[in-house]
Structure formats: C-alpha cells, structure tokens
Amino acid sequence: MADILFVLTGASYWTLRDGHRHPTGYWAEEFVAPYTAFTRAGHKVTVATPGGVVPVVDTMSLRPSMTGGEENSLELESAIEAAEELRHPLPLDQVGIDDFDAVYYPGGHGPMEDLSSDADSARLLRETLASGKPLGIVCHAPAALLATRDENGTTPFAGYRVAGFSNEEEAGVGFADRAKWLLEDELKKLPTEYSRGPVWEPYTVVDRTLYTGQNPASSGPLAEEMLKVLT
C-alpha cells in the first residue's frame, strides 16, 4: 500500500485582472477520479492545504453541463461527501515527502490564487522532484510550479515536458481576457517544454517522475499512469 499526499488549494476565490473575486476552489473531477482510482487500488490518501483549511469545491465543477449530466454530478457530490480526508486536511507547512510515496495536485482555478506563490508548496514540490517519487499535477495545478523559482528565477522544473490548462480552454470558459495571467503562457516562460492536445480531451505527459495532465478529463488517465509505478 502506498501513502499518497493530495495537495489541494485552500482558496475559495480567484482574483481577476479587474479585482473581481471569482468564486472557485478545487475541481471536483480532478479530486474524485484520482482519489477513487488510488483508494480502490488499496492506497491511502492524505489531504493537505495551505494553513490546513478545509478545501472548497468549485460549484461550477458540479454543474450537469460541466459533468456530462445530472447523474455524473450526483456521483461526484456523493464521492466528495464520502471522502473523510477532505474534512481533516493537514497544514501544508507540516508535511514532507519522507512520509509519502507519491504526491498529487488536483486543479481548479484555486491554485492560480494561492499555490502559485505558496512557499510551503514550493518546498514540497522541490523535495518530491529530488526524491524520485511520482509527482502528479493536473489542469490549473501546474501553477504551483511557478512558486518553485528562486531569487534568480531558477527552478528545478526547467526543461521538463509538461501539460496544463491551455489558453484555448481558458477562453472556452470565459476567463482568457479576464485573468491576470494565463497558465500556458507562464509555464512556457518558466521555462518548461509545454505541450497540449485537443481541447477538453484527455492529454497527459510523463517526463521522468513528473506526471502532468491538461484538463479535468486528464485526471483519471493521469492517475492510471501513476498507478503503474505505485503498484
């Protein structure tokens, strides 16, 4: 059995370019699909957030129009309600890679607000990469990589092949012209070797021990890729 750390955003809003606070959180499918895959395989999941705050699900991610129907929405809600780990997160500053076998970051717009500049998350990301243990990051969560830059702008993730939420997908949900910055642009500047697939379709990239996915539909396939090495 592997111990897997899920690092979730603690943000409940995302500050847009005009100062508006758009309600957000973590994206339901990006938590539920990997959580279900890992726990069904017999692995243990622990949740951590900045400050140990109870994470908030983005209500948009539970809309039938986003999930593919009312039945899927209800299944996601039920899975979230049953996940006791979500109600007792550890403070991110109290966790380290030595206690875990893998780390996974689900997205949602929340990481754009907090994990993109969180020093504790940055420390954990650097530790995990150096450890050689699997590190999975999906959709908007690669924003957390931006915080790993040092005072000289250097990051251990430079040159890694990664996927993440694309500019075209951000435009598709109506935020491309409202955001302070776009994830695809910032990942390219980091610099990483960013790539993407067709909008809304599963697309994952594996580079050494780093597993990244483009969008919500990529979270399940990303977990399956990680399971190959965890088992």
Q: What is the pLDDT of residue 186?
A: 98
Q: What is the pLDDT of residue 215?
A: 98
Burial of 72 (0-12, 13-18, 19+ CB in 10 A): middle
Residues 6+ apart with CB under 8 A from 139: 27, 30, 106, 107, 108, 164, 165, 213, 214, 215, 216, 218, 219
**Calculated CA dihedral for residues 47, 148, 202, 159, nearest 10 degrees:** -150
CA distance 121 to 203: 24
Mind listing the pLDDT tens digit for each residue in 113-148? Answer: 999 999 999 999 999 999 999 999 999 999 999 999
Q: What average pLDDT does range 21-37 have in this prediction?
A: 98
Percentage of the chain beyond pLDDT 70 is 100
Find residue 137's DSSP bridge partners: 105, 212
Q: What is the pLDDT of residue 65?
A: 93
pLDDT(31) > 90: yes
Q: Which domains does the chain have, with CATH numbers?
A: 3-228 (3.40.50.880)
Residues 6+ apart with CB under 8 A from 119: 147
Residues 6+ apart with CB under 8 A from 118: 50, 92, 144, 147
Tokens, residue 61: 């991610």
pLDDT(84) > 80: yes
Q: What is the pLDDT of residue 27?
A: 98
Closest CA to 132 of 102, 160, 162: 102
Mean pLDDT value across the chain? 97
Q: What is the pLDDT of residue 231?
A: 77
Percentage of the chain beyond pLDDT 90 is 100
C-beta separation of 45 from 35 below 8 A:
yes
